[in-house]
Structure 1
Amino acid sequence: MPQTADFILDRLRQWNIHRIFGYPGDGINSLLGALDRADGDPELIQPRHEEMGAFMATAHAKFTGEIGCCLATSGGGTIHLLNGLYDAKLDHQPVVAIVGQQKRIALGSAYQQEIDPNTLYKDVSEFVQTCMHPAQARQLIDRACKVALTNRTVATIIVPEDVAMEEAQPSPPREHGAVYTTAGRTESRTIPEQSELRKAAEVLNEGEKVGILVGQGAAKAADEVVEVAELLGAGVAKTSLGREVLPDDLPYVTGPIGLLGSTASHEMVMNADTLLFIGTSFPYAEWLPPEGQCKGVEIDIDGRMIGVRYPMDAQLVGDSRDTLQELIPMLQRKQDRSWREKIESEVDEWWRVLDDRAHDEADPLNPELVVHELSKRLPDDCVITTDAGSVANWWSRHLKLRKGMSASLAGNLATMGPGTPYAISAKFAFPDRPAIALVGDGVFQMNGMLELITVKGYLDRMSRSPLIFCVFNNRDLNQVTWEQRAMGGERKFPGSQNIPDVPYAEWARLLGFTGIRCDSPDDLGAAWDEALAANGPVVFEVVVDSEIPPIPPHIKKMQAQKVAKALREGDPQTWGIVAKGAKQKAHEFTESVKEAMPGRER
């Protein structure tokens, strides 16, 4: 007779879950046996660490729109999932976690590996319940999936080993307290009240300088965003999580915003008289206009998060696409296009600045040039991931994404670790699409190198198109180094920031993969061509200069003062920072002068 564990997997299948990322342990022996009997549906993908499995489940949700699912044993395995699950929670992705537990008879006895996951998971999971009876499994799976999908969050089911071993009860006994649930969920159309839509239209129609900011909540509304931007003569900036909403080859897309942002986005937002936020909870007030400068309209499906970042005159609680479709007929096309022309001019200038910055001399490689050269070669339909660190600056700014490309990172948690497992997960979901992870050496040492062993274990699934891990080798935890200077006013502390120099390309070759190492700008283009021509895993190690600063679009006075303090106190890289930082920032001034003198050659 089927066990409860078999029924759990069958119910997950009914929710279109056909892949589970998990690591074995005796607390889930029955679930592992059921996975063996399932003949690959759902299939178990075994990473090297439960945290990586949770990241992979989050990436699966991000890149496919389906529920991501991860599995861990009791005790330490359950604890290991947490970082990846917090990534899903903070980036609003539907993930269901299945975790093991000791047998019911042992609970409360301080038994080996006994922890209290109900308490531990209360913050990360919007729904967390223990399956105490085989007949309870049906409603717990159904409710977990409904909560995860509806609220775009994490839901967790705790399965004691003895319950998993018991005979399945697909239909509960017909008695008081029994609950009968249905698998499946239908989408609903969520739109605001007409009165609030009219108020929003009035604000946007009156605005003369409209700036739009989109986040991942606008992902399914790209066509509508384009139509609104055209009507209003507006530019569109993108948060890191909204990176793929609109392609970067549209002349009015100003690119990233904030510390990792562009000068074009900064100029647009700071000079706008009206802001339209679509599907974003961008949190940084210092990168938005002063309160009272702008009128605002915001669209968000979560009423708890609307109007909590900037004062808004109209708050449209609804799905981005549905709401924009209702709003568009109320909008008037602006006849004066001077604001749009200014934005497009600044976007054009920004791309020239990036080109100039990428070609600044460095020792040995300019990290910006690495991404700049990739951008020119991006394959159609590729998936591009990155990680926390200075590499996220170059990923945000230099990649010119086209329509059909996918890109993501751990946006709100900003944790180290997801870049590599994100790319691996994307490869499982889309084996024919090229996948490229841009990661720093610190995070690759932390957990990325071991996940190459996961790739080796599934090599037949990873070899239908390029899977590239581009590792930026600068022997420095570079983003934190710059944050110590700009935020803390502290000089670089080598004891915390320096990391070992590891032969990453050689590690790849040991595993039977393609390993490429580049430390010369003259060889960079050819090295990228070689990596992108591979059908299978590649570690592309680029030896880059840690002194190239991630210059923000506008240097705040306090940041400048703190960096100056750090340099006065004897930062070991003082002279390189001063020379290279000044040159990087000077490109903005140089391009402005060229723009003002159209008769001069550029």
Structure 2
Amino acid sequence: MARIAAESLVERLAEWGVDTVFGMPGDGINGIMEGLRRHRDRVRFVLVHHEEAAAFMATGYAKATGRIGVCLATSGPGGIHLLNGLYDAKLDHVPVLAITGMQETSVLGTGYQQEVHLDRLYEDVAEYNMMITNPAQLPSLVDLAIRTAYARRGVAHLTLPNDLQVAEAGMAPYRTVAPARLPETAPVYLRPSGLPRQEDVEWAAEVLNNARRPAMLVGQGALHAREEVLAVAEALGAPVAKTLPGKAVIPDDSPYTTGGIGLLGTRPSEELMDEADVLFMVGTNFPYSKFLPEQARVVQFEADPTRAGARIATDVPVVCDAKEGLRALLPLLNARDRTAHLRKYQEMMDKWRADMDALENPDRDPIAPQYVVSIVDELATDDAILTCDSGTIATWAARHWTIRGERRFYLSGTLATMAPGLPYAIAMQHAYPGRQVIAYVGDGGFTMLMGEFLTAVQQRLPVKVIINNNNSLGQILWEQMVLGYPEHGVRFPEPEADFSAWARSCGGFGAKVTKSEDVAMAIGQALAHDGPALVDVDVNPNEPPMPAKVSYEQAKNFAQAFLKGQPHKAAIATTLFKDRIQRLGE
């Protein structure tokens, strides 16, 4: 049997260490599917139920492993469906390769069925974007695509016309007039050292040593630098705030952390940003600049030269890997007595944790979403991976899922899209088959890609799904009220869906919970189940994801929404009153 060009593609992926491709077949990629079949001993194909999920899986795989994630879709609509997941990779700066099909070269430009020029469509999302026009271009363009995805921490895209996929590997489909010599490449990416310039580190040390009220803000770029972050925090006596994608940088019970920052963050972190005279940003280009200090001097350790100093006026922008930069900085820091500054925030965090604990009340009716997450947190292993969708669930996870041991936490950070929680979990379970992987999702996000639970069952992946079912688009509900608008179009009609029935119909474990006293047992059974499991919990739809500090403008607009005829104001007022009482130590 003749070796086809698609085999050259698959073989090169394998040489790059790619062991998994997430995708969905179609007539635009039958040649690639044949290449995967012929080399199924080297590269595993994971069949999904929607191409968007394939892109999310590739993105989640890349986030969790640091290795390139690969997704595959057919021409036209298949390639279009990948886009949301690919933008998630682009905005969160992780390496993903998207491979798509294209109509035969002989019919391009004729308006043929499903003729969508995906290379043009992907111009914004992809750092490297190429249509293969000659089988001899493989594997060189695979090398360039993967190197670019790694180097620029983003998306690369290759699209292959049908006829070229099945052409003889390495051969031109027609005689060339003046054949050129293709570059001889190798499946190797030479990572930059990440070492900072010595003069930059000395400059950073000078500013940090003179700080009286230092603060650190760490993000996902520092996930591999936990020990170094803690060592610098100790040397500076600096409290450490964490971005949501950087939640796992240091443990949540560390004496140095003030928890999250931003809309889903903690009050101590907001106070820290207001009071700091020097802010040290490590591995983050935090996009919500309104939560950053207005007057403080800023030192930033950033891996990408284009992002260093791009978010906030920065006194000392340093281009380096977070771990390497902190290692170089540590010997230059002068230990000083800043214990009063640090102790102040430790006391504030003690109170904040007590407030959060009070909201994890098992006696609430309807069920408090904070209680559900607290049970997941209590029963999960110390190396569990939690994936999360966007919405109110991100608030509950940020505040009530505790990073300890080797736990990890992943969500769509900058794109903040709905629906990646379950696909992320499936990809991460493939990457780490021995670890507990839990998808914590809302009913809105789950329904978008709920077919992927069937994917988990069919592939015998023991992922666990916990659904925070408030029968609404909860985050949008509260955003409308903060803007002063009575809610509209954000609650689904009664009755609530029973997703546990869907789980059981797929062949997995499914439990429906409507009472607080049943939460712990159902989640415990799901975590102990040896296959895919889902627990659908009806939670209080009127529980507000309150910001750490409520501004006067937010409070005024919230009140105006009530006065304008908020349809559920009695239930909301009752919930707010109960929350306040419990924080006071009911």
* Shorter-normalised TM range: over 0.9
2:477 to 472, 476, 481: 481
Q: Hey, what's the Cα distance between the residues in 1 that align with 2:581 and 2:92? A: 36
Q: Hey, what's the Cα distance between the residues in 2 that align with 1:171 and 1:380? A: 54
The two structures have a TM-score, normalised by structure 2, of 0.96
2:271 to 242, 267, 280: 267
Secondary structure of 2:40 counterpart: coil
Q: What letter corresponds to residue 551 of structure 1 in structure 2?
A: M
1:179 to 174, 177, 183: 183
Q: Hey, what's the Cα distance between the residues in 1 that align with 2:180 and 2:448? A: 52
Q: Hey, what's the Cα distance between the residues in 1 that align with 2:397 and 2:84? A: 23
Offset of 1:19 from its aligned partner? Answer: 0.6
Q: What letter corresponds to residue 234 of structure 2 in structure 1?
A: E
Counterpart in the other structure of 1:227:
231
> Does the Cα contact within 8 Å between 2:128 and 2:156 map onto a contact in 1?
yes
Asked if 1:82 corresponds to 2:86, the answer is no
Counterpart in the other structure of 1:153:
154
Q: What letter corresponds to residue 124 of structure 1 in structure 2?
A: V
Offset of 1:524 from its aligned partner? Answer: 2.1
Q: What letter corresponds to residue 474 of structure 1 in structure 2?
A: N
Q: Hey, what's the Cα distance between the residues in 1 that align with 2:490 and 2:240? A: 42
Q: Hey, what's the Cα distance between the residues in 2 that align with 1:492 and 1:139? A: 54
Q: What letter corresponds to residue 222 of structure 1 in structure 2?
A: R
Q: What letter corresponds to residue 169 of structure 1 in structure 2?
A: G
2:321 to 319, 322, 345: 319
2:258 to 254, 257, 269: 254
Secondary structure of 2:45 counterpart: strand
Counterpart in the other structure of 1:545:
540
Counterpart in the other structure of 1:381:
383
Q: Which runs of 5+ in 2 are unaligned?
A: none
Q: 1:428 to 1:74 in 2, by over 3 A?
A: same
Offset of 1:285 from its aligned partner? Answer: 2.5
Counterpart in the other structure of 1:594:
none
Offset of 1:179 from its aligned partner? Answer: 2.1
Offset of 1:479 from its aligned partner? Answer: 0.6
Offset of 1:582 from its aligned partner? Answer: 4.2
Q: 1:384 to 1:536 in 2, by over 3 A?
A: same
The CA deviation string for residues 266-287 of structure 1, in whole angstroms up to 9 with x for no partner, is 2222221111101111122222
Counterpart in the other structure of 1:580:
575
Offset of 1:526 from its aligned partner? Answer: 2.4
Q: Hey, what's the Cα distance between the residues in 1 that align with 2:523 and 2:429? A: 19
Q: What letter corresponds to residue 167 of structure 2 in structure 1?
A: E
Q: What letter corresponds to residue 197 of structure 2 in structure 1?
A: E
Counterpart in the other structure of 1:597:
none
> Does the Cα contact within 8 Å between 2:268 and 2:352 map onto a contact in 1?
yes
Q: Hey, what's the Cα distance between the residues in 1 that align with 2:407 and 2:497? A: 31
Q: Hey, what's the Cα distance between the residues in 1 that align with 2:156 and 2:495? A: 39
Q: What letter corresponds to residue 195 of structure 1 in structure 2?
A: E
Q: After superposition, where does 1:42-81 map in structure 2 within 5 Å? A: 42-81=43-82
Q: 1:361 to 1:272 in 2, by over 3 A?
A: farther
Counterpart in the other structure of 2:444:
442
> Does the Cα contact within 8 Å between 1:551 and 1:585 map onto a contact in 2?
no
Task: Name whichever of 49-58 and 498-507 sits farther off.
Answer: 498-507
Q: How many residue pairs were aligned?
A: 582
> Does the Cα contact within 8 Å between 2:477 and 2:490 map onto a contact in 1?
no
Secondary structure of 1:385 counterpart: strand
Secondary structure of 1:220 counterpart: coil
Counterpart in the other structure of 1:599:
none
Q: 1:360 to 1:537 in 2, by over 3 A?
A: closer
Counterpart in the other structure of 1:123:
124
Q: After superposition, where does 1:348-359 map in structure 2 within 5 Å? A: 348-359=350-361
Offset of 1:437 from its aligned partner? Answer: 0.7
Q: What letter corresponds to residue 185 of structure 2 in structure 1?
A: T
Counterpart in the other structure of 2:467:
471
Q: Hey, what's the Cα distance between the residues in 1 that align with 2:171 and 2:299? A: 48
1:561 to 556, 566, 578: 556
Q: Hey, what's the Cα distance between the residues in 2 that align with 1:35 and 1:499? A: 46
Q: Hey, what's the Cα distance between the residues in 1 that align with 2:520 and 2:108? A: 60
Counterpart in the other structure of 1:285:
289
The CA deviation string for residues 485-544 of structure 1, in whole angstroms up to 9 with x for no partner, is 11x321111466557621111211122211122222222222222222212111111110
Counterpart in the other structure of 1:408:
410
> Does the Cα contact within 8 Å between 1:259 and 1:552 map onto a contact in 2?
yes
Q: What letter corresponds to residue 305 of structure 2 in structure 1?
A: G
Q: Hey, what's the Cα distance between the residues in 2 that align with 1:270 and 1:498? A: 43
Counterpart in the other structure of 2:143:
142
Q: What letter corresponds to residue 486 of structure 2 in structure 1?
A: R
> Does the Cα contact within 8 Å between 1:362 and 1:548 map onto a contact in 2?
no
Q: 1:499 to 1:519 in 2, by over 3 A?
A: closer
Q: After superposition, where does 1:516-535 map in structure 2 within 5 Å? A: 516-535=511-530
Counterpart in the other structure of 1:241:
245
Q: Hey, what's the Cα distance between the residues in 2 that align with 1:40 and 1:48? A: 23
Secondary structure of 1:303 counterpart: coil
> Does the Cα contact within 8 Å between 2:202 and 2:332 map onto a contact in 1?
yes
Asked if 1:2 corresponds to 2:8, the answer is no
> Does the Cα contact within 8 Å between 2:509 and 2:532 map onto a contact in 1?
yes
Counterpart in the other structure of 1:209:
213
Q: Hey, what's the Cα distance between the residues in 2 that align with 1:549 and 1:170? A: 62
The two structures have a TM-score, normalised by structure 1, of 0.93
The CA deviation string for residues 67-109 of structure 1, in whole angstroms up to 9 with x for no partner, is 1000011000010100010011111110001100011111111
The CA deviation string for residues 305-348 of structure 1, in whole angstroms up to 9 with x for no partner, is 12222222111111111111111111111223111111111111
Offset of 1:456 from its aligned partner? Answer: 2.0
1:192 to 196, 212, 217: 196
Q: Hey, what's the Cα distance between the residues in 2 that align with 1:25 and 1:395? A: 37
> Does the Cα contact within 8 Å between 2:362 and 2:517 map onto a contact in 1?
no
Q: 1:500 to 1:177 in 2, by over 3 A?
A: farther
The CA deviation string for residues 119-169 of structure 1, in whole angstroms up to 9 with x for no partner, is 100100000001100111111100001001111110000101111111111
Q: What letter corresponds to residue 114 of structure 2 in structure 1?
A: Q
Q: What letter corresponds to residue 118 of structure 2 in structure 1?
A: P
1:342 to 319, 341, 344: 344
Q: What letter corresponds to residue 190 of structure 1 in structure 2?
A: G
Asked if 1:301 corresponds to 2:303, the answer is yes
Secondary structure of 1:27 counterpart: coil
Task: Name whichever of 526-535 and 142-151 sits farther off.
Answer: 526-535
Offset of 1:379 from its aligned partner? Answer: 0.6
Offset of 1:222 from its aligned partner? Answer: 1.2
Q: What letter corresponds to residue 225 of structure 2 in structure 1?
A: A
Q: What letter corresponds to residue 573 of structure 2 in structure 1?
A: V
Offset of 1:257 from its aligned partner? Answer: 0.8
Q: 1:170 to 1:40 in 2, by over 3 A?
A: farther
Q: Which runs of 5+ in 1 are unaligned?
A: 592-601
The CA deviation string for residues 11-55 of structure 1, in whole angstroms up to 9 with x for no partner, is 000010111001010111111111111134211101100000000
Q: Hey, what's the Cα distance between the residues in 2 that align with 1:560 and 1:308? A: 32
Task: Name whichever of 315-324 and 489-498 sits farther off.
Answer: 489-498
> Does the Cα contact within 8 Å between 1:70 and 1:96 map onto a contact in 2?
yes
Secondary structure of 2:534 counterpart: strand
Counterpart in the other structure of 1:514:
509
The CA deviation string for residues 280-306 of structure 1, in whole angstroms up to 9 with x for no partner, is 1112222222x22x1111110112112
Q: What letter corresponds to residue 481 of structure 1 in structure 2?
A: L
Q: Hey, what's the Cα distance between the residues in 2 that align with 1:360 and 1:288? A: 36
The alignment's C-alpha RMSD in Å is 1.9
Q: Hey, what's the Cα distance between the residues in 2 that align with 1:349 and 1:170? A: 69
Q: What letter corresponds to residue 321 of structure 2 in structure 1?
A: D
Counterpart in the other structure of 1:19:
20
Q: Hey, what's the Cα distance between the residues in 2 that align with 1:200 and 1:505? A: 54
Offset of 1:175 from its aligned partner? Answer: 4.7
The CA deviation string for residues 223-257 of structure 1, in whole angstroms up to 9 with x for no partner, is 11010000001111111110111111212211111
The CA deviation string for residues 462-483 of structure 1, in whole angstroms up to 9 with x for no partner, is 14xxx21001111111111111
The CA deviation string for residues 415-461 of structure 1, in whole angstroms up to 9 with x for no partner, is 111001001111111111111111001111121x21111112212xx
1:502 to 493, 497, 504: 497
Q: Hey, what's the Cα distance between the residues in 2 that align with 1:2 and 1:253? A: 57
